[in-house]
Chains A and B, each alone.
Chain A
Amino acid sequence: MADAALSVRNLTKEFAGRSGNVAAVRNVSFDVGGGEFFTMLGPSGCGKTTTLRMIAGLERATSGDIEVDGKDLRSVPPERRNIGMVFQSYALFPHLTVFENVAYGLRLRGRPRNEIDRRVAATLALLQLEALSGRHPANLSGGQQQRVSIARALVYEPTMLLLDEPLANLDAKLRVMMREEIRALQRRLGITTLYVTHDQEEATAVSDRLAVFDGGRLVQVGTPEEIYARPRTLFVADFIGRANFLPARLAAPGATAQGVVLADGTSLCPQRQVRLEAAEVASLPAAEDGTVMIRPEHVALSATDGEIACRVQRVQLLGGLIRYTVRSAASPEDILVEVTRPVSDVSEGGGAFLRIPREDAVLYHR
């Protein structure tokens, strides 16, 4: 019931543009299991919100299928899909009280008065809103409006819960707090949840699985750990967490197993090798065969040991991390190194050495 399984197949949405059709969403396919917290993540304009709205029924898909528990939804209007939706702007009914806002969906379903009262009260309690029941939205804080919005979506026990960047309008601390609350609520109710955000930290913190979107396409689907450890493209590697990218040439042409040579001459044999898709190959300079990706927390920085000589540009204290920004001949961009304890004898302006562990390095090649 509330843990419906969703199946999306080859979903496409095209708009008529100035010169032919523009595809906002292109052949997107994925499955969401019952009770799963599934997030669609990507930069602005990547098609994640459009996909969500097609699942809600607020946008008409150009082609493709949407099935919930095996039932085709394409011909069902949004008001009959029994889905709960939370909008970025909360979209509370300004002329109704909190109670009336939440009761709205139940009234439409013709439930008897005492049942409505009971269920609304229960839902308000679930979101700690009992004291605000008689207020109007204009008299609520952002966080409170957020919670009323969620209550309104949940009260009629929908098959799925859709959230479109619900935290974007809140301040930073509140955002972190609310995402944990939403996560806890979802766990408690076991409701299949589709979440849209552009904030990768938010996505990795709360989701069971994520789908990364770019330019209307679904680039990678997986758990946060999988996507972080084994990003399938340079875009995903860059979008999730932080990454260093080092240009590389193959040591032996055509044979990736032999390793690569970095721009400063260092040899390296990354344990993982990923073939790039056509679009990313096209953006590689001709002289390069690929890019080595290494996360800042995996780079070994030392005053004395290492193959790559570098100069420390900056040392920053970021909460529990220390970030060293270093410049070397191995890459035109500065390399980031993150550690939890300061590296001895390494300071700003001084020289140092880097070592790239092969087990953590990933080579993206043609």
Chain B
Amino acid sequence: MATTIVSGGETSTRTGVERDWMAWALGIVVVLIAAMFLIYPLVNAALLAFVKNGEPVSVANLTFANFARFFTAASYQRALWNSMYSGVAATLLATALALPMAYAVARIDMPYRGLISAMTVVPLISPPFIGAYAWIILLGKNGTITQWVHAYIGWTLPAIYGPPGVILALALSYFPYVFLIVQGALAAADRHIEEAARMAGASRARILGTITLPLVLPAIAAAMLIVFIKSIGDFGVPSILGGEFQVLPTLIYYQIHGFFNLGAASAIAMVNVLLTLAAMATLAWIHRHRSFVTIGGTAEAAPRHTGLGARSFGNAYCWLVIVVAILPQIVIALASFAGRWPGTMLPESYTLDHYRAVWSQLTRPIANSLILAGGATALCVVFGTATAYASARDRLRARWALDLTIMLPFVLPGLVVGVAYLTAFNSGPLVLTGTALIIVLAYFTRRVAFVFRSVATAIAQIDPKLEDASTICGASWGTTMRRVLVPLAAPAILAGAILVFSTLIGEISATVLLYSAKWKTISVAIYELVLGDQLAQASAIGTITTVMTLLLVLIASRLAGKNMAELFR
């Protein structure tokens, strides 16, 4: 009778690796990088909030003066209230738009379901502020739709500036998160559970209300919180469409660009972070109390409605939402080619002048964007993969600390990360202001979570016994990583990497605080053009950016073997 080898849980053999110096070396480097560039800037910024502007950080100087402004200054209070108000409103609108769409794509037998899902990715990868000024073109004072409605219907539409525009633009940018997450949850539902309800006597409507919806409620809640977090951290949309409507991110920007009041900026950032953390805590609480894992379920999808009425309605609704959601991109594209466009439906004449004009100005910003994004991506890949391995293989005792360190900057507003880097490396042992490195590091901080999450999931699905088998055959830890793990995790690494790269091309929130004249990126170029009211040229660059990003994400998904929608879930 053969003796069975003790097969443990998911951890690989410890004795072999712990003696391997290479693992240790990598571990130390990872900890150093995490400490210097993930933890230190944020902690430093947090401390600065408690010190008056210009004074050094020391126990004697601690004060709540910066925070006191929230009780004394009307602008602060308004910004806080506006952030919460627009965040909640955008979340509700996004959810209302996305839920029927998610149900339709998951449960109605519609043609082109895959195409609909793929199209929803477009708002996600286009930088939101690019879409924001499309709304100005459409619904601004001399906007196309405004003039059309006035001419043919006689109404005077309210201006798009201010809360309505901000909420609309935010909702349309972020509703795909709700769609993708909820649609995924509905599609993965165990069909037998709904069939069991049917056999017990429930009609289709009762099943929807008592079984289907309650089971996807956690997914809906999670998605709503993601939209909320992203909305209150968004800088681009409120800065372009807000007008007098200040929110916390624009207030931060104002404090820095107007007064260089780092203390005040940090304090506002802390409050924004508090809001984010409160939302995340709620999310974690929901997941803990209601994790409905339907393990042992079948692989067959739930049946779809096939009635003509359901299909027509589903199609009409989905395409309507998609058209409205990508309308900004279409408008931008049209505007980039428009000669004269005096408020008619379509431009009167077309021209390539705008592209010609920006072409000469474009080479530097594009090169800068590519270099900076590329550098940050490389850093993300190395660091992200190493930490993902550590996290997935449960080799660290304080795994939660690692997870938090990586995921926290991901959910923080870009502006907050910008502030943190600005303050951390403005003086002291390491001065990086105005360099390319500070931008690369800020990008790295904001996006490493993409690689981390993607690779950690992939590694968790790779049987640790493969590494054991390699070790028994005589391979060192480094060799096992190189020849076994990395090749198997490669699609996930690649997917994460291109996701990082493509979304960094259009990054504005952190860049706007950290760039120097030498290191202007595409997004800054667009931003400056918009502020200078040169919308046509901004549109040209914007269109190029969107198309480039879309192509990159398409390639990424092909290489990773998934469809685009799955990359973002």
Contacts and interface: CB of A to CB of B under 8 A. Distances in A.
A314 B214 CA distance: 59
Contacts of A105: 200-201
A94 B201 contact: no
A153 B198 CA distance: 11
B199 A89 contact: no
B33 interface: no
Contacts of B468: none
Contacts of B290: 95
B298 A79 contact: no
Interface in A116-161: 138, 149, 152-153, 156
Interface in B190-205: 190, 192-193, 195-203
A82 B215 contact: no
Contact of B211 (A80, A88, A93, A169): A93
B287 to A, nearest CB: 13
A130 to B, nearest CB: 21
A228 interface: no
A90 B296 contact: yes
A156 B202 CA distance: 13
B214 A95 contact: yes
B200 A89 contact: no
B293 interface: yes
Given A89-B298, A91-B193, A83 B199 contact: yes
**Most interface-central of A56, A79, A80, A92 (chain B CB within 10 A):** A79
B206 interface: yes
A58 interface: yes
A302 to B, nearest CB: 32
Contacts of B214: 95
A87 B206 contact: no
B413 to A, nearest CB: 34
B201 A91 contact: no
Contact of A91 (B196, B291, B293): B196
B200 A169 contact: no
Interface string B168-202: 00000000000000000000001011011111111
B292 A91 contact: no
Nearest to A53: B195
Contacts of A138: 291-293
B294 A82 contact: no
A239 interface: no
Given A79-B203, A94-B215, A108-B206, A89 B297 contact: yes
Contact of B197 (A80, A89, A104, A149): A104
Interface residues of A, number: 29
A152 B195 contact: no
A150 to B, nearest CB: 12
Given A89-B192, A93-B193, A153 B296 contact: no
B292 A104 contact: no
Contacts of B195: 58, 78, 85, 87, 91
A109 interface: yes
A153 B292 CA distance: 22
A84 interface: yes
A169 B199 contact: no
Interface string A65-81: 00000000000001111
A84 B198 CA distance: 10
**Most interface-central of A85, A90, A93, A108 (chain B CB within 10 A):** A93
Contacts of A109: 201
**Most interface-central of B198, B203, B211, B292 (chain A CB within 10 A):** B198
Nearest to A87: B192
Contacts of A94: 193, 215, 292-294
Contacts of A81: 199
Contact of A95 (B201, B203, B292): B292
A169 B297 CA distance: 11
Contacts of B192: 87-89, 91
A313 B132 CA distance: 82
B396 to A, nearest CB: 28
A153 B201 contact: no
B199 A85 contact: yes
Interface string A45-65: 000000000001010000000
Nearest to B204: A79
Nearest to B192: A91
Contacts of B293: 94, 138
A58 B198 contact: yes
A75 to B, nearest CB: 16
Contacts of A80: 201
A78 B201 CA distance: 7
Contacts of B215: 94-95
Nearest to A94: B292
A82 B198 CA distance: 10
A169 B192 CA distance: 15
Interface string B211-233: 10011000000000000000000
Interface string B49-64: 0000000000000000
A95 B216 CA distance: 10
Nearest to B292: A94
**Most interface-central of B206, B215, B294 (chain A CB within 10 A):** B294
Contacts of B196: 85, 87, 91-93, 149, 152
B193 A108 contact: no
A87 B199 CA distance: 11
Nearest to A145: B296
A156 B201 CA distance: 10
B198 to A, nearest CB: 5
Given A94-B215, A95-B214, A108-B206, A89 B296 contact: yes
B200 A108 contact: yes
Interface in B277-332: 290-294, 296-298
A87 B192 CA distance: 7
B201 A79 contact: yes
A254 B203 CA distance: 62
B303 to A, nearest CB: 9
A90 B193 CA distance: 8
Contacts of B197: 93, 104
A66 B202 CA distance: 22
Contacts of A78: 195, 198-199
A72 to B, nearest CB: 19
B291 to A, nearest CB: 8
B206 A91 contact: no
A105 B210 CA distance: 12
A104 B200 contact: yes
Contacts of A169: 296
A28 to B, nearest CB: 21
Contacts of A91: 190, 192-193, 195-196, 297
A338 B387 CA distance: 60
Given A93-B193, A108-B206, A138-B293, A56 B200 contact: no
A93 B196 CA distance: 9
25 contacts: A58-B195, A79-B202, A79-B203, A84-B199, A87-B196, A88-B192, A89-B190, A89-B192, A89-B298, A91-B192, A91-B195, A92-B193, A93-B193, A93-B196, A93-B211, A94-B193, A94-B215, A94-B293, A95-B290, A95-B292, A104-B202, A104-B210, A138-B291, A152-B200, A153-B200
Given A89-B192, A91-B190, A93-B197, 15 more contacts: A78-B195, A80-B201, A83-B199, A87-B192, A88-B192, A91-B297, A92-B193, A93-B193, A93-B196, A95-B215, A104-B210, A108-B201, A108-B202, A138-B292, A149-B196
Q: A-B pairs with the 6 shortest C-beta distances?
A: A105-B200, A91-B192, A91-B196, A94-B292, A85-B199, A108-B201
Interface of B: 190, 192-193, 195-203, 206, 210-211, 214-215, 290-294, 296-298
